Structure 1
Amino acid sequence: MNRPSLTKFAWLSVGAAVVTILLKAGAYAVTGSVGLLSDALEGGVNLAAALVALATLKYVERPPDDSHAYGHDKAEYFSSGTEGTLILIAALSIGVTSVSRLLNPQPLEQPGLGLALAVVASLINLAVGQIQIRTGKKYDSITLEADGHHLMSDVWTSVGVVVGVSAAVLTGLIWLDAVIALAVGLKIGWEGIRIFWRSLRGLMDVPIAAGEQAAVADVLNRYQTRGIAWHALRTRQAGARRFISVHLLFPADWTIQQAHDLTEELEADIRRAVEHANVFTHLEPLGDPVAMNDTALDRPHAQDKRQKDAG
């Protein structure tokens, strides 16, 4: 895979998390706002997630080996799944704290300074979050992309907190701070569920993107003009890697060398059409009844069934 090391971006996230935690903790210390406390707790989640992302990216960069012949890329889904879980834990903590403060409201102190610190922290998260998202999409890293979206969620969360504290100060309704904090907890919880679901889909070997599947089919269809056919196309994704398998059917009068040479050419075209593709082909005789019907997704089960029916 021609992908540069992405660990420097994870280190950027770690540094940003440390700085924003200090800023948000300071904001809470001078105001006593539960909303700003919830924001500081979310900063702690950001730091934990950044450290998990850093460790994951270091692991993913290892080349395939005897123990992991298909690479280590799937570890990215464990990273984003862990991040989703941490977000849910933070959301629960924020919810409990918000309800407690809603039942026992307390006046806010020095809101101006606290809000200023929160705004600075949000601007840092905004800048780093955008960098993570762009880099994650560019290099197809769900770890960086999830981390970036998490930071952007934190930005919007901070906006909500600033609005809540401001509303409480302007109206004198100090319970508004707790209500906004509770809404923040719900928003964070939803983000955690979304990230966790995306990670689960990756672990379940869902197909590659529809556009990439279409690109593979276009390559295969072009080669049909040279006298071959294809079927049983299967795809899956693991991090940045794409795994593509397909059955190629050749005329009976072709030599093994002819079929091999054309297959090598076809696989190279697929790799050019789909970045980071690992292509696996199975050659079959065109016109053979068994080969023509060999399209089952679960081949071992289908073979056992054929043998049982024949017996």
Structure 2
Amino acid sequence: MAERAALASLVVALLVLGLKGLAYLLTSSLALLSDALESTVNVAAALLALLAIRFAQRPPDATHPFGHTKAEYFSAVLEGVLVVLAALLIAREALPRLLHPTPLGDLGPGLGLALLASGLNGLLAYVLLREGRRLRSPALTADGYHVLSDVLTSLGVLLGVGLAGLTRLWVLDPLLALLVAGHILLLGLRLVRQSVGGLMDEGLSPEEVARIQAVIARELQGKALEVHDLRTRKAGHRAFLEFHLVVPGTMPVAEAHRLCDRLERTLEEAFPGLAVTIHVEPESERKA
């Protein structure tokens, strides 16, 4: 499903790029050009996401015993870098025209095409974010937020360019382009930070850890003495959990093993994609 969503993203990105490029040719609007340039990044990002998801779905092997899920983070990092480069390119084009504003061409058809492109992007962003959260896919989620940002900036550009056409204040066009560039720059930096966090084995959120602890406490009532050294990390749609389980010294090994199996099964059912490792210890290792 993740691969189909990424493929749909690539197809829509190509269509939207064509519509926005035509809108720029009809109007000569630098703001609409900046919007189209961001869509070139969308195409590259969608292609990277598709390739990363295909690679990440490979099963574990001898050299990658934990799987290939971190491949999605490389896609998200590259997407963030591309977004930053697009922002700098837009700023470079906008600054000279800020000093020498240029009248725009026929805005009606161009704005209509840009509005159609934004509608397609809005639908795509909704699908990508929904599937990215459901499948715990960093590549799809990053692509979804990127497309959503494109929708918001496109709507701002449409309003601004329309206002410039009504007032004949052509300086609004490069000003809008610079605002779009600033917004895109912040988005790119955020994507890079989030993706680098995943590559650095960033743990699950405090809310997710609290939910895990609640499940453990519920399942272990009266069956174990303590849980400590709980650690988590995430890698794409997979997450990993490790902790030490202190049991009474008189508990048979077979019973402790059954307890761990039941706990692992309950956690993995409550958190799809979670891999659990439990280290059993006797009560002499109790820390509390």
Which TM bucket (shorter chain)? over 0.9
CA RMSD of superposed structures (Å): 1.5
Query: Which shifted more, 195-204 or 24-33?
Result: 195-204
Aligned partner letter, 1:134:
R
Match of 2:21 in 1: 25
1:92-111 equivalences in 2 (<5 Å): 92-111=88-107
Does residue 210 of the first structure (1) align with residue 199 of the second (2)? no
TM-score by length of 2: 0.95
Partner of residue 179, structure 2: 183
- Show structure 1 runs of 4+ deviating over 3 A: none
Q: Are residue 49 (structure 1) and residue 45 (structure 2) matched?
A: yes
Q: Does 1:132 align with 2:123?
A: no
Aligned-pair distance for 1:172?
1.2
> How many residues are matched?
287
8 Å Cα contact 2:223/2:247 also seen in 1: no
Q: 1:261 aligns to what SS in structure 2?
A: helix
Unaligned runs of 5+ in 1: 296-311
Report the Cα distance in structure 2 between the residues aligned to 1:211 and 1:189, rounded to whole angstroms.
Answer: 29
**Percent identity, aligned pairs only?**
41
**Separation in 2, partners of 1:97, 1:240:** 39
* Equivalent in the alignment of 2:286: 292
**Alignment partners' CA distance in 2, 1:285 and 1:220:** 18
Q: Which residue of 2 aligns with 1:269?
A: 266
Letter in 2 for 1:245: E
Higher RCO structure, 1 or 2 (CA under 8 Å, sep 6+) = 2
| 1:144 maps to 2:140 | yes
Q: Distance in 2 between matches of 1:227 and 1:62?
A: 37
CA contact (8 A) 1:212 1:274 kept: no
Q: What's the secondary structure of 1:82's corresponding residue?
A: helix
CA distance in 2, matches of 1:203, 1:15: 28
**1:231 aligned onto 2:225:** no
Cα pair 2:136 2:236 within 8 Å, conserved: yes
In 1: Cα distance, 2:21 partner to 2:62 partner: 47
Quote the Cα distance in structure 1 between the aligned partners of 2:188 and 2:86: 9
Contact 2:224-2:245 at 8 Å conserved across structures: no
Structure number with larger C-alpha Rg: 1
Unaligned segments of structure 2, at least 5 residues: none
How far, CA to CA, are the matches of 2:162 and 2:263 in structure 1?
Answer: 63
Whether the 8 Å CA contact 2:226–2:286 is kept in 1: the answer is no
Name the residue aligned to 2:194. Answer: 198
- Distance in 2 (CA, whole Å) between partners of 1:227 and 1:36 is 63
Look up the SS of the partner of 1:226 in the other structure.
Answer: coil
Distance in 1 (CA, whole Å) between partners of 2:212 and 2:36 is 47
| Aligned with residue 35 of structure 1, among 5, 16, 31 | 31
Q: Find the counterpart in structure 2 of residue 120 from structure 1.
A: 116
- Pairing partner for 2:10 from 14, 17, 22: 14
In the TM superposition, residue 48 of structure 1 has moved relative to its aligned partner by 0.3
Higher mean alpha-carbon deviation, 220-229 vs 269-278, is at 220-229
SS in 2 for 1:10: helix
Give the drift of 1:227. Answer: 4.1
CA contact (8 A) 1:215 1:274 kept: no
- TM-score, normalised to structure 1, is 0.88
> What is the CA–CA distance in structure 2 between the aligned matches of 1:175 and 1:239, rounded to whole Å?
44
Worse-matched range after superposition: 210-219 or 256-265: 210-219
